[in-house]
Structure 1
C-alpha cells in the first residue's frame, strides 16, 4: 500500500479547498488503495477527507519547521506532492524529507533549478484556473490527462431532480460579489413563466448556514411556486450530484460555484467590481485563476461606468438563460 502526502494551500475558504478535489481524485484513481494524508494549516481540509479523496488530515499550523519535518519523516512517505506553491518553508520541508519521490510546482526559479524534486513544474502565478495547476502536477507525474470532471464519481447517491436550474446566491468574500437575492428570484419567476407551461424546470436555491434572510426573501417572493426548492448547506458530495444533473446554473462568484465549474455545468456567473480606498478593483484580474470557461459558460458584468454588481438588471441574465434553455428544448 502506497503512503502519500499532499501539502495543500493555507487558505481555508470553501472555494479554495474544493479546487483541490480534481488533483486528489486523480491520485485516488492512480492509487486506489493508497493512504493519502493532507498536510494543511486549516481544519476545513477535513471536508476533503469526508468525501473520500483523502484518509487523514494533519493540521500543522502551530508547528515549528523542525517539528513538521520530523513528523513527515516519521511517516516514511513513498510520495509527497506539494501544491502549496508559494511557501518557501514547505518547499524546504519537502526537499529535506526522506520521501522516496517528491513532486511540486512553483514560480520560483531557484526551486526549479536547485531543488531536489523528482519532478517540478515552473509556472507563473495566474497562468490558469487554480484547480488545473494542481491537477497538472498529477497529470505530468502519471503521464495521464485527467480532467476536472473526474470529481463526478464522488457525487452522493441522493436522487436529484431532473431539469433542474440551480441558483448559487452566496458570496462570503464580500457584498461586492453578491447579486441581490431579489434579482435571482425575478429571473426564476421569468424563466418559470416562459418554460413551465408543461412544468419543464425545477429551481433549486443552494443556501449556506448564515443565509436565513435570503431564504425568507425566496419564500416571500416565490410563494406558491411548487417547483422551487431550497438545498440547505449541502455537503461536497451533494453539490457534486447537483452539478452533475443541472440543466443550468445561475451564480455569484462563491465557494460552491467551483464544483459546478469543474463539472462544466452550463453556467451564468454574475460579477461586480470591488470598491477600494482609491477607486475600484475590477473582477477581470481574478478570472484567469478563479473562472473555468467552457462551451456553455457566460459571465455578466456591470457597465464600466456603473461597476456595482447590482447595476446588472435581471433581464441581462434572463436573456442569456432563455436563449440557452430554448435551444435545449428543440
Structure 2
C-alpha cells in the first residue's frame, strides 16, 4: 500500500527526472514512516528505484492505469506535472487528505489543498521544493544538496573528485550544444587565469562519442574523461568541484542541485532550467541570435571568474554546504 503518491512530470528525459529528486527526498523527510510511490507515464523506473526514499515505482500511461496506481487509502499526493487537468481529476476521484499541485489558473486548481503558482521564470527543481514549502518551510538549497549527498553514499570514496567539471552534452540536439572545441578553449583560458594547475573533468554521455574521440586525440594531461557514469558517481565527481560549466543537459542538474559554483551555457534565456543564485551565472547569445556557438569562450570565462572570485558567491556556497552537513549529521525528521 502506498501512503504518498507522487506523479512526476510526463517527460522522459534525464534532466526531467533529476530535478524531481530533491522534492522526493523532502517528501520522505516530511513523512519518514510512509511508503512513497512514484508514478510516471514513461519507463523511467531506474531513476527512481535506486533512490533510498522511493519505495515503489509504477508506470501508468492510460488514465485508467493512473487511477489504479493511486490507492484510495493514500494519505497525500504530490503532483509535479505543471498543467494537465487529468491529475486534478485523479485527486478529485481519490481525495487524499493532502493534495499538493501547481496553480495554473485552471479549473482543477480548486482540487489542491496546498498549491504553488507555476511560473516559467522559476527553476523547476526550486518550484517543486516551494510547493512542498506550503507544508513546512525549509531551505531549498540545503535540501537539494543534502539530497544529492544521500545519493552519493553508496559510492563514497570510490570516485576521484573533480576540480573543474565541463559538460558539453545536450540531448535535445546541436542547438543546445556549445561545442567541445569551445570548452577546450575555455579550459585554456581558465588554466591561464587560475595559475596553470587546474584539472578539467569532461562528463560525456553515449551521444558524445565524437567529442570523446577528439578529446582523447588531444592527449592532454590536464583533461580527465568521464563516460558512462551513474547518477551517484556523477554526484561523487561534482560534489566538491571548484566549478561546473555545462550546456543545458541532464547531468547539469546534478551540478546545480549540489549548489557548487556553476555556469550554464544556453542557446536562449531559460530560467526554468537554470537556478539563479549568487554562485551561478547563465550565458546566452547576444540579442537577436539563438546560435549557441556564437558565444565566445571569453564571455563564458568572464562568468566563470565572477562566480569564482566573488566573496558573496563563496560565502553562499559555504552556507549551503554547512547547512546540509548539519542536517545530515543530525537526522531529525521534519514534522508535517
Distance in 2, matches of 1:314 and 1:246, equals 20
Which residue is equivalent to 2:178? 179
- 1:316 aligned onto 2:299: yes
Cα contact 1:182–1:217 (8 A) shared by 2? no
Which residue is equivalent to 1:78? 75
Which one of 216, 219, 226 corresponds to residue 231 of structure 1? 226
Which residue is equivalent to 1:68? 66
Q: Name the SS of the counterpart of 1:171 in structure 2.
A: coil
Distance in 2, matches of 1:122 and 1:319, equals 35
The CA deviation at 1:317 is 2.2
Cα contact 1:154–1:240 (8 A) shared by 2? no
Distance in 2, matches of 1:290 and 1:108, equals 22
Cα contact 1:2–1:33 (8 A) shared by 2? no
Cα contact 1:109–1:122 (8 A) shared by 2? no
The total of aligned residue pairs comes to 307
Which residue is equivalent to 2:247? 252
The CA deviation at 1:291 is 1.1
In structure 2, relative to structure 1, the CA distance for the partners of 1:305 and 1:247 (3 Å cut) is: same
- 1:32 aligned onto 2:32: yes
Which residue is equivalent to 1:290? 273
The CA deviation at 1:303 is 2.4
Larger radius of gyration: 1
In structure 2, relative to structure 1, the CA distance for the partners of 1:39 and 1:185 (3 Å cut) is: same
Cα contact 2:283–2:303 (8 A) shared by 1? no
TM-score, normalising length: structure 2: 0.82
Deviations 1:289-316 (A, max 9, x none): 1111111212222223554111122222
Please identify runs of 4+ aligned residues in structure 1 that moved more than 4 A: 159-163, 322-329
Q: Structure 1 residues 31-40 or 157-166, which shifts more?
A: 157-166
Cα contact 2:274–2:282 (8 A) shared by 1? no
Q: Structure 1 residues 132-141 or 143-152, which shifts more?
A: 143-152
Q: What are the ranges of 5 or more consecutive residues in structure 1 without an aligned counterpart?
A: 273-282
The CA deviation at 1:319 is 4.0
Distance in 2, matches of 1:244 and 1:107, equals 35
Which residue is equivalent to 1:169? 168
Which residue is equivalent to 2:238? 243
Q: Name the SS of the counterpart of 2:242 in structure 1.
A: strand
Cα contact 2:116–2:131 (8 A) shared by 1? no
Which residue is equivalent to 1:133? 127
Which residue is equivalent to 1:280? none
Which residue is equivalent to 1:89? 86
Which residue is equivalent to 1:301? 284
Q: Name the SS of the counterpart of 2:32 in structure 1.
A: coil
Q: Name the SS of the counterpart of 1:86 in structure 2.
A: coil
- 1:47 aligned onto 2:30: no
Which residue is equivalent to 2:101? 104
In structure 2, relative to structure 1, the CA distance for the partners of 1:318 and 1:48 (3 Å cut) is: same
Deviations 1:37-85 (A, max 9, x none): 1010011243022132312111111x3x3443244236x2222212223
